[in-house]
């Protein structure tokens, strides 16, 4: 069988040197509206390649930029410059990237999951940036630790893991154990039991094992652990943002409690527009364009189209 591949993104990826850290960004400009800027901020434990199809979806409405974050996607981590990968430092990095790339231009922001936490904190810390935002879109967004709805056993394990992997030595040892022992076993079991990590299309099949191995190889283990800790302790409800939020929700079908999510987001934003996705699962990263594009509800597509006419 032929495999569905996401390597087409390579021709749009360029190197970035920010704050003495080597990284990359995806700059997709094949749009009928090249003067409209869209910043796509990815979620947790991922890379810009996995957002290729979603990039093309939003590319219909403007030039799309997808940056890597320190410690993710192969970018050097903040520990290299003696900074900690906490929410404020990541928000500061995104703010520096935003100001360098967009300068005085107006921008639409699309932020997913953990990326929404970082982007929201950036807008709270930098009101000058918030004034330049045309439209703020959250996908599977959340803002408070109470939004996370997982079993207590798993919650305690995540907290323990974040504490354990906080040193260079323990994170290095765990990386070897995970990549050489655990991940091959997990992927073999998944393939044996026909567990599909991604959507499949027609007669094309995309195996999860290769992309999972690559992600765990390039993403920094300490950053991974500490950002999980951030999600389990976050409270972004302390400062208001004078912006409307358009939230694409998957309901209670993910690790989030939809009612709590809505309550907390209404505390932060001046307006809250909830949109339900047609998907019955979490964001199917790595899926083909034909599947990914229906994540965007018709009402939001209309709003994005209106902005392109301004």
Residue 309: both structure tokens together? 């006419």
Q: In this structure, is residue 203 part of a structural domain?
A: no
Number of domains in the chain: 1
User: pTM (2 decimals)?
Assistant: 0.86
Residue bearing the bigger pLDDT, 174 or 26: 26
Instruction: Determine the pLDDT at residue 175.
Output: 79
Q: In this structure, is residue 174 part of a structural domain?
A: no
- Residues 66/72, Cβ–Cβ less than 8 Å: no
Instruction: Determine the pLDDT at residue 204.
Output: 31
Q: In this structure, is residue 159 part of a structural domain?
A: no
**CA–CA separation, 93 vs 75, rounded Å?**
12
Write the pLDDT tens digit of every residue in 219-257.
888 898 889 999 999 999 999 999 999 999 987 667 899
The CATH number assigned to the domain holding 133 equals 3.40.50.1820
Distance of CA 85 to the CA centre of its chain: 16
Residue 121: both structure tokens together? 């904190």
Look up tokens 């989030």; give the residue. Answer: 256
Residue 186: both structure tokens together? 């997990």
Q: In this structure, is residue 31 part of a structural domain?
A: yes
**Parent domain of 88:** 7-148+234-308
**CA–CA separation, 265 vs 107, rounded Å?**
21
CA geometry: angle at 268 spanning 264 and 270, to 5°? Answer: 125
Please count the other Cβ atoms lying within 10 Å of the Cβ belonging to residue 231. 19
Q: In this structure, is residue 184 part of a structural domain?
A: no
Q: In this structure, is residue 190 part of a structural domain?
A: no
Residue 188: band (very low, low, confident or very high) from pLDDT cuts 50, 70, 90:
low
Instruction: Determine the pLDDT at residue 224.
Output: 87
Write the pLDDT tens digit of every residue in 269-284.
999 999 987 664 444 4
How big is the chain by its Cα radius of gyration, in Å?
19
Does the CA dihedral 96-100-103-107 come out positive or negative? negative
Q: In this structure, is residue 243 part of a structural domain?
A: yes
Write the pLDDT tens digit of every residue in 97-156.
999 999 999 999 999 999 999 999 999 999 999 999 999 999 999 999 999 998 888 888
Q: In this structure, is residue 78 part of a structural domain?
A: yes
């Amino acid at each position: 069988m032929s495999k569905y591949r996401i390597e087409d993104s390579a021709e749009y990826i360029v190197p970035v040197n920010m704050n003495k850290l080597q990284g990359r960004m995806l700059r997709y400009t094949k749009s009928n509206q090249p003067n409209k800027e869209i910043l796509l901020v990815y979620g947790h434990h991922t890379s810009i390649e996995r957002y290729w199809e979603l990039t093309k979806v939003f590319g219909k409405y403007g030039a799309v930029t997808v940056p890597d974050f320190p410690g993710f996607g192969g970018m050097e981590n903040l520990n290299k410059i003696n900074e900690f990968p906490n929410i404020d430092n990541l928000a500061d990095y995104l703010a520096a990237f935003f100001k360098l790339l967009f300068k005085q231009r107006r921008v639409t922001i699309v932020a997913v999951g953990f990326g929404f936490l970082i982007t929201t904190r950036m807008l709270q810390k930098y009101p000058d940036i918030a004034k330049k935002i045309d439209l703020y879109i959250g996908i599977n967004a959340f803002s408070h630790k109470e939004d996370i709805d997982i079993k207590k056993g798993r919650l305690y394990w995540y907290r323990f893991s974040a504490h354990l992997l906080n040193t260079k030595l323990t994170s290095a040892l765990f990386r070897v154990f995970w990549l050489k022992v655990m991940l091959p076993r997990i992927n073999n079991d998944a393939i044996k039991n026909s567990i599909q990590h991604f959507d499949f299309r027609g007669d094309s099949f995309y195996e999860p094992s290769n992309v999972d191995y690559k992600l765990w190889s390039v993403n920094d283990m300490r950053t991974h652990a500490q950002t999980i800790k951030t999600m389990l302790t976050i409270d972004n409800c302390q400062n208001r943002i004078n912006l409307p939020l358009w939230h694409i929700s998957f309901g209670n079908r993910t690790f989030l409690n939809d009612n709590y999510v809505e309550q907390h987001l209404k505390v932060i934003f001046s307006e809250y527009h909830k949109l339900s996705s047609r998907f019955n699962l979490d964001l199917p990263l790595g899926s083909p364009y034909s599947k990914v594009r229906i994540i965007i509800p018709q009402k939001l597509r209309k709003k994005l189209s209106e902005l392109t006419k301004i």
